[in-house]
A and B are shown apart, each in its own frame.
Chain A
Amino acid sequence: MENLIALLVAAPLLGAVVLLCGGRRLDKTGHWIGTLFAAVSFGVGVALFADMLGRGAEDRTLHQFLFSWIPVEGFQADIAFQLDQLSMTFVLLISGVGTLIHVYSIGYMEHDERRRRFFGYLNLFVAAMLLLVVADNYLLLYFGWEGVGLASYLLIGFWQHKPSAATAAKKAFLVNRVGDIGLSIAIMLMFTTFGTFAFGPVLGSVGAETSVAAAPVSEGTLTAIGLMLLLAACGKSAQVPLQSWLGDAMEGPTPVSALIHAATMVTAGVYLIVRSGAIFNGAPDAQLVVTVVGAVTLLFGAIVGCAKDDIKKALAGSTMSQIGYMILAAGLGPIGYVFAIMHLVTHGFFKAGLFLGAGSVMHGMNDEVDMRKYGGLRKYMPVTFVTFGLGYLAIIGFPGLSGFFSKDMIIEAAFAKGGTQGWILGGVTLLGAGITAFYMTRVMILTFFGEKRWQPTATGAVQQDGTTARAVSGHEPAASQHGSGEMPHPHESPKSMTVPMVVLAFGSVFAGGFFSIGDRFVNWLEPVTGYAHGSPPVSALTVTAATMVVLAAGVAIAWSMYGRRPVPVVAPRGSVLTRAARRDLYQDDFNHAVLVRGGEHLTRSLVYVDHSLVDGVVNGTAAGVGGLSGRLRKLQNGYARSYAVSMFGGTAILIAATLLMRAV
């Protein structure tokens, strides 16, 4: 059975190769091929899952050794896979949601002439992401890590004719590089400390408090590795301070936003931290930093999400915030790992569903993304409304739905951290839940309720924010049919788009309950991540009640602000906080001021030093040698008599030396 693990990765990889190398002759069938390979991967995943369920909790970890990648004395890197319960969870999420989104993309990208390429990239992403989660050593994980970064870059910049998309892709790539450096340093540190990258030896030796080298690994080293891993996680999962790329990444096609920038890739950081749990368990300082990063990002993303009028950017802020929850939970240690993953899975369902719903809305609204120009869409797009609504209820944690269980667990675990830290973290998560309720209600109201605030499409093709420039690529038939200045005619999306939304809505509703009843998910993951039951200082029921109160308050505030009175089409100026949040809390300005300006100044000063000092030395040496050579060249004039003078003078000096030696 373990020989099938390679197939998980190989199938979508083969799909990517076929689609990207196949050329135009696959334009007609490319999307089916891509979907088929993703589905094969999902099928293999399900088979493996069924097999895994049939075994005892202790034998559920499978290994597959493919070949030795870098067989060097003292440096052994293998292409080998490890499939345990944690990896299995991810495999099912990635291949399952991935397959659904492949199906959705068939409809969504129908009119894009580069659809085959899009599916190739999607397959490449699925392959890289699966490689990331089934790798049995950090080096191979890094390979997958870079692979998803590449796929993310390609897909964000898929509409490369839009300068904003191209820039966003570059930005995502560059910011991710910072995190990748953290991961590479962490791997180097691991190698110097443990002499290997494989999960088993590295994590096992930390857990056993005695390393392979028989000397206990110092807490300082573990903290350093942990912080570097956290940096990597920050880059990939858009956590503060490397969060700035996620909002811009919404320039990519909506299925990409759903799959990569909501459900799977951005959660790779959470996977990394949970996978390396043994290291973090041994480094409490690093864990503390992880929780702080999670808490800050949680609020940051939530606040940004409140102010955005662009539906995808509001959802992106929400994603950032929800991943902040997961990171926070992962930072709590064994009491949080399981819930981080559980929230990750449920979030994968409802956030992917929400994004697909947003894509469906945009599909019906001539690619309009400004929520202030939606309104009253529930009658026109009933399926989208229902699935989006279920996703909405799930994310705000409406009792009984997925988000309720997973988020509530995290809030409890945060309180259970104990002491002042516990109160602060608990308070933050509670506040975050309230804000989540607020901004999601806002999205819901602005989109589906209230008056119709539809605006005629400016010219179909040329719109200032560039969102409808997609029509240029032939993607959007509505725009070209309606022509310029026509009102949008919202309509329900085709079956290929609504079916995945329905499936994901089911997940949004039932996944949390299914996982929580009887502690199924805890029992499932405990052998891998470990689990310690954390008891909050107040009873769990009180926490849940408090969450409900905060939730209700958030919904109520949003309703009072957006539901009771008409919403202006042009956004009002708003308060200082709103303006700041609209600008992503000045993250880009901060980066520009500190990094770009600083970098420019550093570069200028380096250029100056280079010109004056380095070039000075080099040019001076060159000039000196040149000048000396010029002088010496005069000696080499070709005249035999000049040489004779030299010889004669030399003889005279020799005689003088001889006489001197005799005299001495």
Chain B
Amino acid sequence: MSTIAAAATSLTSTGEAVQFWILGTVAVIGALATILMKKAVHSALSLAGTMIILAVFYLANGAYFLGVVQIVVYTGAIMMLFLFVVMLVGVTAADSLTETIKGQRWLAALCGLGFGILLIAGIGNAGITHFNGLGRVNSGGHVEGLAQLIFTKYVFAFELTGALLITAAVGAMVLTHRERTERAATQRELADRRVRDGVQLPPLPAPGVYARHNAVDVPGLLPDGTPSELTVNQTLRARGQIRDVSGQALDDLKALEQASSERLGREEASK
């Protein structure tokens, strides 16, 4: 705290400068990774990293409360919610980075560049040189200072955020809740329907039943040697994570023959 108090000038300490340049670089890399990573999970993790670095920056700027809240609420709660939804939604074609809208990428790049340049030019143009620092306002205790503001000057906004949170919680429930409008089908009805449809009468084959492998990502082989997709979990199928081992036996045989012929050749040569 003394560091911050002393830095009531327009310059920071060397330590903070070093910290800024190192962590700032990492934060930008994390942000870029967020938008460029193919898989949503990776994006989420990158974003979490960036947020932690931002928390550090909050601390460096004298916002101790916010820094802790950033880590606990954002990184800890919100990002976990993201990960949870990523898991729930699963992997879809939406993860593809190929652009489908014509010219979208060019326009995005143009707008992004223009916007960034203008924003940075604006900040530079503002001619901010003097930083007062928070030494004076933190003198009575940082959290106490915040609390005094929140419960006096911003008390109505604070109350409103409470209402907002409740509304959001109810809204989320309403949005995701599905009223069951019909009676759930009983076992008998399900069995009847399966017979009626005639698509797949017996239970689905287990993975690896007709094969030499019993891993869940390996499809079972049909009598003619072709893999049966039915034997693999639907999610794995959607992700394209099926390991095809139908050619495995032949490959093994070929390798065996080659090895034996090599050995025979070597034996003959040694003769």
Could you list which residues of chain A lie within 8 angstroms of chain B, going by C-beta atoms?
Answer: 637, 639, 641-642, 645, 648-649, 651-652, 655-656, 658-659, 662-663
Contact = CB atoms under 8 A, between A and B. Distances in A.
A652 B111 contact: yes
Interface in B107-128: 107-108, 110-112, 114-115, 118-119, 121-122, 125
Nearest to A662: B125
Contacts of B118: 652, 655-656, 659
B92 interface: no
Nearest to B115: A652
24 contacts: A637-B101, A639-B104, A641-B101, A641-B104, A642-B101, A645-B104, A645-B108, A648-B108, A648-B111, A648-B112, A648-B115, A649-B107, A649-B111, A652-B111, A652-B114, A652-B115, A655-B118, A655-B122, A656-B114, A656-B118, A658-B122, A659-B122, A659-B125, A662-B125
A609 B185 CA distance: 74
A297 to B, nearest CB: 80
Nearest to B117: A652
B118 to A, nearest CB: 5
Contacts, number: 37
Given A648-B112, A655-B119, 14 more contacts: A639-B104, A642-B101, A645-B104, A645-B107, A648-B115, A649-B107, A649-B111, A649-B114, A655-B115, A655-B118, A656-B118, A659-B118, A662-B125, A663-B125
A546 to B, nearest CB: 101
A663 to B, nearest CB: 8
Contacts of B121: 659
Nearest to A659: B122
B127 to A, nearest CB: 11
Contacts of A648: 108, 111-112, 115
Interface string B95-111: 00000010010011011
B255 to A, nearest CB: 50
A359 B196 CA distance: 96
B120 to A, nearest CB: 11
A74 B122 CA distance: 72
A659 B112 CA distance: 17
A651 B119 CA distance: 11
Contacts of B125: 659, 662-663
Contacts of B119: 655
A662 B121 CA distance: 12
Contacts of B111: 645, 648-649, 652
Nearest to A644: B108
The list of the 6 closest CB pairs from A to B, nearest first, reads: A652-B115, A655-B118, A648-B111, A649-B111, A652-B114, A645-B107
B256 to A, nearest CB: 55
B99 to A, nearest CB: 10
A641 B118 CA distance: 22
Contacts of B101: 637, 639, 641-642
B207 to A, nearest CB: 39
B197 to A, nearest CB: 35
